[in-house]
Homo-oligomer: A and B are copies of this chain.
Amino acid sequence: MLLRRPHRLRLLSSTTTNRSPFPLTVPLSHPTYIIWSSNTSLGKTLVSTGISTSFLLSPSSSNPKKLLYLKPLQTGFPSDSDSRFLFQKLSSLSLRRKLPLFSSHSVLLSSLPAAKSFKPNDFSLNVSHEMCELGFYEDRKALEDGNVAPELVSETLYAWEGALSPHLAAEREGALVGDSELVKKVERRLKTDYWKMVLRGEIGWFLCGGDCRGRLGGISGTISAYESLKLRGYDVVAIVIEDHGLANEIPLMSYLRTRVPVFVLPPIPQDPSNDLMEWFDESSNVFNSLKDIMLEAYLERIRRLNEMPRRAGDVFWWPFTQHKLVPPSNVTVIDSRCGENFSVYKVRNKEYITQQFDACASWWTQGPDATLQTELARDMGYAAARFGHVMFPENVYEPALECAELLLDGVGKGWATRVYFSDNDSPTESCHELMVLALKGSYHGDTLGAMEAQAPSSYTGFLQQPWYTGRGLFLDPPTVFMHNGKWILSLPEVFHSGTPEPEDITFRSRDEIFLKSRDSSNLAGLYSSYISQQLSQYSTLSGTKLIGALIIEPGKKYISLILLFDIIFLLMLVNECQQCKIPVIFDEVFTGFWRLGVEAAAELLGCVPDIACFAKLMTGGIIPLAATLATDAVFNSFTGDSKLKALLHGHSYSAHAMGCTAAAQSIKWFKDPITNLNITSKNSQKILLRELWDAELVQWISLHPSVSRMLREDDIYCRPLGNVIYVMSGPCTSPEFCTQQLLKLHTKLEEFTQVKPNMEII
């Protein structure tokens, strides 16, 4: 976790096991806690020793118990060693209390300077990577039988000599450790059948908050530490402080109210010759209570996790779900999300938490990776504290203004002059015209009004939408898709008479579809005349009905399938409408903000709309917010002396400060090469997102015969639609991660085909 990649440094130190950017599977069969403190030398080791004593050396308890004390990173070694301190104190207390204990102590790896201090005469030290294999082990057996496993395992993974922050000590001693190596070592230990305590750890999900020994500043330091842990998604189960006669627990408890109990330890003797035995005896009541609370919180958590599927089935009404088809065993228990991954609770023989790639990007909303999620969390706290929500009309506040300016300078650049905010992602707020021109199979959101702009389908039938009438002229669009590894253009029947050339309907690569030369092909002419013929036919036959606007998604079509429209058709459609003065609306709710490799998909089309709607990724997917951008002409058509000419519609949360804060940050992050390593700019003019999904792998998978819901059972969370699997990452996701997911996907499809070759496709 050391200074190799400073951008990632805080990532590891800020994530819990189940929230690590590395794929981790951690069993929950025993409690795992981190002991944290608000500063150094504040007694974390003493507290760990006290809890261990309560657990292992309490006369009342009879069951065999096992405890692992893990110090992942020790600096100041060998003069300082927390794992040795704990091992020695427990041994002494075992003798003092006449309770036998089989305990072991080991130090795995260290820097060369630390190793030389520790074993000055050993010149055979084995340097593995940049660390020495120290392999130190000692134990104290309580039984003759050497085959019994130790009841206490106290272990240091990595040690350095300098009494400095680990990142500094590692750098100075030329002994760096990689993130993934450390995580793997810790993960292996978390899988053992022991209670675990990790000291000031980088890893874990339950926490025992730090003690505070400082006099002045002890209260605020503890509160700040607590808040920093909360801002990283940690749960804190208890706080321990030392008694200095200052009654610091009173303001702490007032701040924490009933959320977290505060324990007060007797003053710690400052005389270095004091062996602390009496202090441990005096403190045993506190440590016993602390241990009980840790056990209780663990059991409560497991109970809750186990009950969640049943309780969810009892009280939730999930959207898009036939509840009769969802038994409790199909319910996914999501313990947290970290960047692109869910952490999911499962029971398969044992309880455990494992990571699942959220391939749906939670309904296409998710953008930030793990690092940016943490930053966004802090900004959400800030925006809530500074603004909460403030109402919008005739008001201005920084997040709304910054967000509007970023939108006009980004996705609206060159055409939009106004931003209208709403609080969800159905984009028809500005679609206030009589009939719409739209494409068959399109889907523009799920409010009753937005559904009217959708051609008839099984989602608009009487059972689903008894009010639906479908107020539009719906055209049949040509689509492109990959099949058997080739890109193919599928033309609706109406174009079949035009007999397009073979080179018009197959493409060697995806890039060919977007070639500028296609704009003037025969096919483009065919499209154009079909569209103008449809428009003039409608105006003749429809009586009083008028087309008020064209609404299209500039890039994909979705309703139970995902396909790409032929971009040339869209371009011809926009041209025709703009010639007829029909306002053009781009629904960029899905396509906006880099989903198609450019900030606004309009860039791909090479034309601009009059109105465009954005949502989902705009806030980094953290909370709902939508924005509709409009040209001056559209805006001015609502300007007048009468209030009744204005757009008198809006939402309670129009331009809410938290949404605008999230949007302002996400819009900036996604296009900043510092925060998004996938951003490239060949020349200073054009910013592009590199391809994240390996084309060959995608092709390989597209050839696979099997698609299944079973994917959700494993480490990819997918919602296949018909025979289409869609897999989505954020704009900042690394291509390596994407490749891993594609490989996993293929493996799962393979496995599944072997197990259930005849499964029904849902």
Which residue of chain B has the shortest Cβ distance to A395 in the bound complex? B332
Contact among B220, B396, B424, B446 for A316, CB-based, below 8 A: B396
**Category for how many chain A residues contact B:** 35 or more
Contacts of A228 in B (CB 8 A): 220, 223-224, 227-228
Residues of B within 8 A of A368 (CB): 388
- A66 on interface, CB distance cutoff 8 Å: no
Name the residue of chain B whose CB is nearest to the CB of A655: B316
What are some 25 contacts across the A-B interface (CB < 8 A)?
Answer: A39-B39, A165-B246, A221-B221, A224-B228, A231-B381, A314-B417, A315-B405, A318-B650, A318-B654, A319-B392, A319-B393, A322-B642, A323-B646, A332-B396, A333-B396, A335-B397, A335-B398, A360-B391, A366-B389, A389-B621, A426-B651, A448-B450, A449-B467, A463-B644, A467-B471
Interface string of A33-57 (1 = CB under 8 A from B): 0000011110000000000000000
Among B255, B446, B644, which residue has its beta carbon within 8 angstroms of that of A464?
B644
Partner of A317, one of B325, B388, B418: B418
A620 to B41, CA, bound (A): 41
Closest to A254 in B: B6
Q: Is the CB of A401 within 8 A of B312?
A: yes
Distance between Cα atoms of A380 and B386 in the complex (Å): 12
**In the complex, given contacts A362-B652, A377-B381, A464-B648, what are 15 additional A-B residue pairs having Cβ atoms less than 8 angstroms apart?**
A40-B216, A75-B216, A224-B228, A231-B381, A257-B675, A315-B404, A316-B396, A316-B419, A321-B647, A324-B639, A334-B397, A366-B388, A373-B388, A434-B467, A458-B644
Q: Specify the chain B residue showing the minimal Cβ separation from A335.
A: B397
Asked whether A392 lies within 8 Å of B466 as measured between CB atoms, the reply is no
Q: Is the CB–CB distance between A656 and B316 below 8 Å?
A: no
List which A388-420 residues lie within 8 A (CB) of chain B: 388-398, 400-401, 404-405, 408, 417-420
Q: Which residue of B lies closest to A407 (CB)?
A: B315
Instruction: Give the distance to chain B from A657, nearest Cβ to Cβ, in Å.
Output: 8
Query: Which residue of chain B is the closest to A376 with respect to CB atoms?
Result: B384
Residue ID in chain B nearest A620 by CB atoms: B388
Set B257, B639, B652, B655: member contacting A674, Cβ < 8 A: B257
Cβ–Cβ < 8 Å partners of A364 in chain B: 652
In angstroms, Cα B365 to Cα A317, docked, is 24
Q: Give the segment of A134-142, A187-195, A622-630, A698-706 that binds chain B.
A: A622-630
> What are the residues of chain B within 8 A of A630 when measuring CB–CB?
317
Contacts A331-B396, A384-B377; is A639 near B322 (CB within 8 Å)?
Answer: yes
Q: For A382, give the chain B residue with the smallest CB separation.
A: B230
A386 / chain B contacts, CB cutoff of 8 Å: 19, 233, 336-337
Q: Which of A439-490 contact B (CB under 8 A)?
A: 446-450, 452, 458-459, 461, 463-467, 471
Instruction: Say whether B382 contacts A231, CB under 8 Å.
Output: yes
What's the minimum C-beta distance from A633 to chain B, rounded to whole angstroms? 13
> In the assembled complex, which residues on chain B have CB atoms less than 8 Å from the CB atom of A640?
322, 324
Contact of A418 among B7, B227, B247, B315 (CB under 8 A): B315
Q: A308 in the interface, Cβ–Cβ < 8 Å?
A: yes
| A653 located at the interface, meaning its Cβ lies under 8 Å from any Cβ of chain B in the complex | yes
Asked whether, in the complex, the Cβ of B38 is within 8 Å of the Cβ of A325, the reply is no
